[in-house]
């Protein structure tokens, strides 16, 4: 039996998209946060969609 690594990559990307979220709080201001750890967040003036990183 073999493992298709592209399937695992797609699953990991899907998990990241569900776990992390972004919130627009003003013009060019974003907060990215972890839905499982509410103390984990970052505020930035630049955001890149998770789908673009994979």
Residues of the chain with pLDDT under 70: 1-13, 16, 50, 53-54
CA–chain centroid gap for 36, Å, is 12
List the domain range (segments joined by +) for residue 34. 5-53
Residues facing 18 on adjacent strands? none
Length reported for the chain: 54
pTM, rounded to two decimals: 0.53
Q: How many structural domains compose the chain?
A: 1
**Contact indicator for 17, 35 with CB cutoff of 8 Å:** no
The pLDDT assigned to 37 comes to 94
Alpha-carbon distance 8 to 31, whole Å? Answer: 28
The pLDDT assigned to 3 comes to 39
């Amino acid at each position: 039996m073999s493992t298709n690594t592209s399937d695992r990559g797609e699953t990991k990307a899907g998990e990241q998209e569900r776990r992390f979220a972004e919130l627009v709080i003003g013009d060019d201001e974003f907060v990215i946060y972890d839905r499982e750890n509410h103390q984990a967040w970052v505020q930035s003036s630049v955001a890149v969609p998770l789908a673009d990183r994979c």
